[in-house]
Structure 1
Amino acid sequence: MSLPQPLPSVPAADEIVPAMHRIINKYDAIRTQILQTTTPSTASFSNVTLPLVNVENAVQGELGMIDMLQYGSPSLETQGAFDEARKLYLKASALWVADEPFFRLLEAAREKPEFQALDPESKHWLEKELLEYRHAGHGILGNVELEEYQKRNMEIAELERKFQQNLAREAGGVWFTLEELAGVPGEELAKWRDSPAEAGLTNEKHQQRKKFVPFANGGTLAVLTHAHSPETRKRMFLEDNVKLKENMPLFEDIIKRRARQAQILKYPSHAALRIERRMVKTTEWVKGFLRQLQATLCPYGRGEIAVLQRRRLEDLRARGQFRDKEAGDSFPPWEKRYYERLVQREFEVDQLTISEFFPLERTATNMLGIFASLLNLRFDSIPSEKLARDVIWHDTVRVFSVWDTKEDAFIGYLYFDLLWRENKYRGNQSVNIQCVFVPSLFRSRLPLLMTDTGLSTARWKQAIPVDDSNVFIPNSNPY
C-alpha cells in the first residue's frame, strides 16, 4: 500500500535533545537576521512575521512529535529526554519574548497600512504573537521588572513540570483481601498482583489472600462498580482521591504564583489573562454560561441521585446495615458507580454482557465511521505490518489515513493510542502533532493528530465496558 505522505519518524531518546537544539537554532538564526535587517520604520508582515511563520511551519511537525512523547512514550529514558528538551524550549521562549527590540518590530508591523489588507489568518498570527509579548510584560513593565517577571514564569513552568511528572508516574494502589473484594469480576482480580508473603496460604484461608488494586488501569473503577462491601468502596475512593499528596503543595503554589503574575500585569486573575487567547474573551461570560448550565443540569442530577439513594437504602435495609438514621440524609460519592450498576440491572442492563459485543477495535473504528458519515471522511486503517518500528512509539498504536470522500483527497493521519501502560501519561487528550500548511518555500505537509487515552488493558481485540467513562471525544490541544 502506497501512502501519499510518509509517516514521520519517532525520535529515539538520544535524538530528542539534539533535535530541540536544531529547532531553537533555526528560530534564533531567523530572529537575528530580522533584527539585523529591519527597523521599526521598515517593519512589515512580510519581513518580520512571515519569516517566523516559515520557520514555524518547517519545524512544527518535529516539535509536535517530541511533545507527543510526553504522553505516549513507555520509556522513562525518552520522557527524561523530553523533560530536558522542554526546559531548553521554555528557556529559549523566555528569551524570545523578553526581546524588546523584536516586540517593537512586531508593533510597528501591526501599525502599517498593509496590515489591514492581510488575510484573517495572517492578522490573527501577528495579533497572537503580540499578545504573547504583552503577556510577558512588554508595554507594562520596565526592564528590571521584565527580567524578574520572566524568571518567575520559568519557576512556575518548573513547578508545572514536577506536577505533571508526578501525575504521569503515579503507581499507587490499595491492598485488599479477596473477602473485601467480593463481587469484583474474576477477570479484574486476575490482573492484580498477589501479596508474595501469602503464597503459602491454605485453601481454607483463601479469602484472606490479598490483591494489590492499582488506582490506574481501571482498578479504582472496578472496585467502585462491583465490590459489595461499602467499606471497601469507601476506602478505595478516599485513597484514590489523596493518591498524589505531593502534588497538593505544588498545585497551591502554582495557583498563587499565577495569580501574582497576572496582577502584576494589571489583570484581576490568571483566568482573565489566559482567556484573552480564547474565542470567549471575558471571564464574566464563562461564569454566566456555567450558571446557566448549573440551573439546567442540576435538577436532573438531583433526580438521578434520588433514584440511586432509594436503591441504596433498600440495599442497606436488605443487608441489615441501615443502623444510622443519618444514612438516608446524604449520598456518599463512593456509592455512585455501584448503585448505578444495580439500577441498570433492574432494567436488565448488563454492561459486562453488552461489552462482549463491543471489542475495542470494532468500537473505536465504528466511532470513526460515525464521524466519517457526518464529515464526508474515510478512515483507512494502516495494517500493523506496514508500520515500521520508527514511525510508532508502541506496538499497540494504530494509525489511520484520513481522506475527503468528496474530492477523494488525502487529508492526513490519525493515531490511536488507547490502552493504559506503565509510564504512560494518565488522562485523555488529543494532541496535534502537525498542522496543515502549503507554503511556497516548503513541501506541502498535512495534519497529524493523536488521540490518547488510558483504557484498561484489555487487548485490542477484547471487550471494553460500554460506559460513558470510557468514551472520549477528542478536542484539539495544540503544542
Structure 2
Amino acid sequence: MTETNPLLQPFNTAPFSQIKNEHFLPAIKQLIKDTKDEINAITENKETPTFENSVEALERTGEQLNRVTDIFFNLNSAETNEEIQKIAQEVSPLLSDFKNDLLLNEALFKRVKSVYDRKDSLTLTAEESMLLEKQYKGFARNGANLSEDKKETLRKIDQDLSKLSLTFGEHVLAETNKYELHITNEEKLSGLPDGAKEEAANTAKEKGKDGWVFTLAYPSYIPFMTYADNRELRKELSLAFGSKAFHNDEVDNQEIVLQIANLRYQRAQLLGYDSHAHFVLEERMAETPEKVTSFLDELLQKAKPAAQKEFAELETFAKELDGIDQLQKWDGAYYAEKLKQKRFNLDDEKLKPYFELKNVINGVFTVAEKLYGLSFEEVNDIDKYHPEVKTYRVTDADDASVAIFYADFHPRAGKRNGAWMTVYKQQEIKNGNNERPHISIVCNFTKPTASKPSLLTFNEVTTLFHEFGHALHGMLANTKYASLSGANVYWDFVELPSQILENWCYEKETLELFATHYETGEVIPMEYVKKIKESAAFHEGMKTLRQLSFGMLDMAWHGADPSSIQDVKAHEKEAFEGTKLYPNVPSNCMSTSFSHIFQGGYSAGYYSYKWAEVLDADAFAYFKEEGIFNKTVANKFKNHILTQGGTQDPMELYVKFRGKKPNPDALLKRAGLI
C-alpha cells in the first residue's frame, strides 16, 4: 500500500512531524494541477461574469497549494538542509510557471476585466472593491495585455529570477556556515563578556574543537565586534562578514546580483515601466522613485551633519583612548560601546541579566494583553518543525480563539541569519466562518548556556518586540479575504505595526512589567531605565545614515537601467559616496549578501523602514499624549490598522486612526535630529 502524503490531506495546523522531504515535490505538483482545475471551472462557466463567480471564486482557488508552499518556504528559511534546497530549485520554477499561467490566462483576465469595467454600477463593499482592484491590477501589471511572444519572454524572466534569488540565499547561508574564528589562547578573548565566551566554548564543543569558536551568526558576531579588545581579530571577523559571497569562488554572488538587477529591469521595460523601482512603487504609499529619492535626500540633509559630528567625536575618543589614527569599520561598534559606557555608564552586559528571554516573552505578551486584551497559553499539542520551537494558543478577553502562534528563537545551522515573521495559515472569513490565522516569528537570539539562561541584549529585546508587532498584525487580522488579510498590505506600510511596538521597550511602565534580574528577581533599577531612554538617541545620526545608505544602494540597483554596470563593488561604492563615514574596505561588498533586496521582498523597498519610522514616531506620539496603555487609542490602532490588513488605502487607514496625516518632525524629534 502506498503511503498517503500528509500534504494532500486536509489539515488545520501544519503536520510537521508527518512530513518528509520527499512529500513536497509530488504534493506541490498535484496541488498546482488541482488549482488549475479550479481556475478552469471559473473560465468555463457559461454565465455572465459577476463579482461572485469570477473575482471571489478566483480568490478562493489554491488554498491548499498556498498553505503547502508556505510550509515549504518557511522551512527553507528556518530549518533547511541540502535536500530542501535542492527541492526548492525544482519547485520555484514550477510555481513561477504556474503564477504566469494564471496571470497570463486570457479567459480569466477577460472575466475579471468584465467585472472591473462595470465596477461603478456594482454595489461592492470597500473590501470587495479593493479585491477587484488588486486582481485587475495583478493581471494588467504582470503582462495580461502583452502579445504572445512577449508573454513567453516574461515567463522565462520570472523563471530565471526565482532560481537566481534562491541560489543567492543558498550562497549567503553557505558562507555564513563555512567561516569560523577558532581561538585557543584565552588572552585573545580579552574584553569579551562571560556569556559570549561561554557561547563560543559551546560552539567549539559542538564542532568537536578545543577552545572557542566564533561564527558569522549575529549572536556570535555582534558581541565579538562590540567587546573584543583584540583589534586584529575584530578586523579578521569583520572582513569575513563583509565579504560574504564576494570571493570569486563557487558561492560568489557578483554575477547573480548583476543578472537579478538586469532581469528585473528587462521585466519592468517589457511591462511598460521605466525601471523595476517604477514598477514596484506604483503599488506603494511612496508611489514613485522620485518621491523615494527626495524622501531619502531630505532625511540625509537632516542626519548627515549630526552623523559627521558623532563620527568626529568617536574618532577623537578612539585616538585618546588607544592612539587609533584612522577609525575603521571593525572599530565602530567597539569604541561606540566604550563611549556609550563612559557617557551613560550603561552597557549591554549590565542590562542583560534583566532581560531573560522567558521574561521578555512574558513582557511582550503582557503588553499585548494590556493593549488588545489578548492571552497567550503555551501548549504542547501543536506539531512543530524543531524541538526548540514554542507553540501558543492565543485568545481574546472573551476566551474566543484569536490565533496559533509559533516562536523559534535561537540560531542553528539550517536557519538563515536575522529575524522575521511568517504565516502558516492566513485569516479569512469563509462560509460564514472566521478562520483564524497561524503566525510564526523566527529570530536568532543568544542561546542559553550551562550556567545561564538565554539573556538578551537590549537590541535583541527591541528585535523581539519588532517581530511580535508584525505577528500582532497577522494575529488580529479580521478581513473577509486571505489575500487582503494581516500583513498583506503595501510594503512601506507593513513596518508600522512592528516598528511602533519597539517604542514600548523604552518606557518605564513597560520595563517594570518584565525586566527583572534572572537571579535575584529585582526589578530593573530606575536609573537604568532613565539611561536606556537617554541613550536611545545615542549615535542616531550615524544609525540613520547607515539605514539611508542601504535604501540608496537599493535604489541604485533598481531605479535605473543597470545594463552598463560591470563591477558590482564599484557601483556600490558610488551609491555609498554621499553617506560614507568609514574608509572603504576593498575586500568587502554588501550587495553580494544584501538578502533583503536580492532574496527577500525588499527590492526597491528598503526605504520603507525609514518611511514607516515616520508613521510609527507620529503614531506613538499619540499614545504618549494619551498614555501608552490607553485603551481608546489602542482600540483605534487595532480597529483601523491591525484588523484591516490591505482592505483600504493605508493613508486612509492611518488618518482614521490618527485624525490627520503623519508629521515627519515626530521622527526627527525622537531621533534628536531637531
TM-score band, normalised by the shorter chain? 0.7 to 0.9
**How big is the shift at 1:310?**
2.7
Contact 1:128 1:277 in 2 (8 A): no
**How big is the shift at 1:430?**
1.0
Identity among equivalent positions (%) equals 20
**How big is the shift at 1:96?**
1.7
Contact 2:403 2:438 in 1 (8 A): yes
3-state SS, counterpart of residue 392 of structure 2 = strand
Match of 1:203 in 2: none
**How big is the shift at 1:192?**
4.0
Structure 1 pair 231/342, CA: closer, same or farther in 2 (3 Å)? Answer: same
What per-residue deviation string (whole Å, max 9, x for no partner) do you get for residues 399-440 of structure 1?
2222222x4432112211121111112222111222211211
Could you tell which deviates more after superposition, 394-403 or 296-305? 296-305
Listed as ranges, the matches of 1:38-77 within 5 Å are 38=46, 42-57=48-63, 60-77=66-83
2:381 counterpart (384, 387, 391): 387
Asked if 1:427 corresponds to 2:418, the answer is: yes
Task: For 1:382 and 1:191, locate their aligned partners in 2 and report how far apart those are by CA, in whole Å.
Answer: 28
Contact 2:426 2:438 in 1 (8 A): yes
Structure 1 pair 314/188, CA: closer, same or farther in 2 (3 Å)? Answer: farther
**Given the two structures, how large is their TM-score scaled by the length of structure 1?**
0.83
Structure 1 pair 240/265, CA: closer, same or farther in 2 (3 Å)? Answer: same
Asked if 1:358 corresponds to 2:359, the answer is: no
Asked if 1:272 corresponds to 2:317, the answer is: no
3-state SS, counterpart of residue 462 of structure 1 = coil
What per-residue deviation string (whole Å, max 9, x for no partner) do you get for residues 376-407 of structure 1?
13232324xx235xx111111112222222x4
2:161 counterpart (119, 144, 156): 156
Structure 1 pair 123/168, CA: closer, same or farther in 2 (3 Å)? Answer: farther
Task: For 2:279 and 2:242, locate their aligned partners in 1 and report how far apart those are by CA, in whole Å.
Answer: 30
1:448 counterpart (418, 438, 449): 438
Match of 2:310 in 1: 304
Task: For 1:82 and 1:153, locate their aligned partners in 2 and report how far apart those are by CA, in whole Å.
Answer: 15
1:191 counterpart (182, 202, 208): 202
Asked if 1:24 corresponds to 2:24, the answer is: no
3-state SS, counterpart of residue 259 of structure 2 = helix
Contact 2:218 2:418 in 1 (8 A): no
The CA RMSD measured in Å over matched residues stands at: 3.0
Task: For 1:128 and 1:282, locate their aligned partners in 2 and report how far apart those are by CA, in whole Å.
Answer: 18
Amino acid at match of 1:417: D
Number of residue-to-residue matches in the alignment: 445
**Given the two structures, how large is their TM-score scaled by the length of structure 2?**
0.61
Task: For 2:207 and 2:434, locate their aligned partners in 1 and report how far apart those are by CA, in whole Å.
Answer: 57
Contact 2:314 2:339 in 1 (8 A): yes
**How big is the shift at 1:37?**
1.9
3-state SS, counterpart of residue 428 of structure 2 = coil
Task: For 1:101 and 1:287, locate their aligned partners in 2 and report how far apart those are by CA, in whole Å.
Answer: 40
Contact 1:69 1:79 in 2 (8 A): no
Amino acid at match of 1:366: G
2:190 counterpart (182, 195, 198): 182
What per-residue deviation string (whole Å, max 9, x for no partner) do you get for residues 420-467 of structure 1?
1111122221112222112118x5420111111122333697133423
Contact 1:174 1:239 in 2 (8 A): no
1:342 counterpart (338, 346, 362): 338
**How big is the shift at 1:190?**
1.1
Task: For 1:197 and 1:113, locate their aligned partners in 2 and report how far apart those are by CA, in whole Å.
Answer: 67
Relative to its length, the structure with more strand (as a share) is 1
3-state SS, counterpart of residue 191 of structure 1 = helix
Structure whose CA Rg is larger: 1
Match of 2:242 in 1: 241
Listed as ranges, the matches of 1:95-134 within 5 Å are 95-113=101-119, 116-134=122-140
Contact 1:57 1:437 in 2 (8 A): no
Amino acid at match of 2:259: D
3-state SS, counterpart of residue 344 of structure 1 = helix
Task: For 2:278 and 2:375, locate their aligned partners in 1 and report how far apart those are by CA, in whole Å.
Answer: 40
**How big is the shift at 1:163?**
0.8
**How big is the shift at 1:6?**
5.9
- Structure 2, unaligned stretches of length 5 or more? 1-10, 247-251, 474-486, 489-600, 602-674
Task: For 1:434 and 1:148, locate their aligned partners in 2 and report how far apart those are by CA, in whole Å.
Answer: 33
Structure 1 pair 279/218, CA: closer, same or farther in 2 (3 Å)? Answer: same
